[in-house]
Amino acid sequence: MKKEWIRRALRTFGQAFVAVIVTDVAAGIDLTDAKGLVQVVLMPAIAAGIAAVMNMKESEDKNENE
């Protein structure tokens, strides 16, 4: 797949999104207020961004070796 890093970033976002929701619910954080919603979206987005950058670099390295 040419854009493997995009697929991996989206998968990482999904995993982190579920993890944040589960931990917030377990901790009793109110997800109906603005702070709770920002946290639910922002934390997985940061994780996905890091994954995208790491996988993009890895994909570029593989392309140079081929």
Question: And the tokens for 4?
Answer: 């493997």
Question: And the tokens for 50?
Answer: 């890091």
Query: 13 lies in which domain range?
Result: 4-65
pLDDT in tens, 5-61: 788 888 888 998 898 888 888 888 887 888 878 888 888 899 888 888 888 776 555
Q: What is the pLDDT of residue 8?
A: 85
Q: What predicted TM-score, i.e. pTM, was given to this entire model? A: 0.68
Domains contained in the chain, number: 1
Q: What is the pLDDT of residue 29?
A: 81
Helix axes of 4-27 and 34-65: crossing angle, nearest 10 degrees: 150
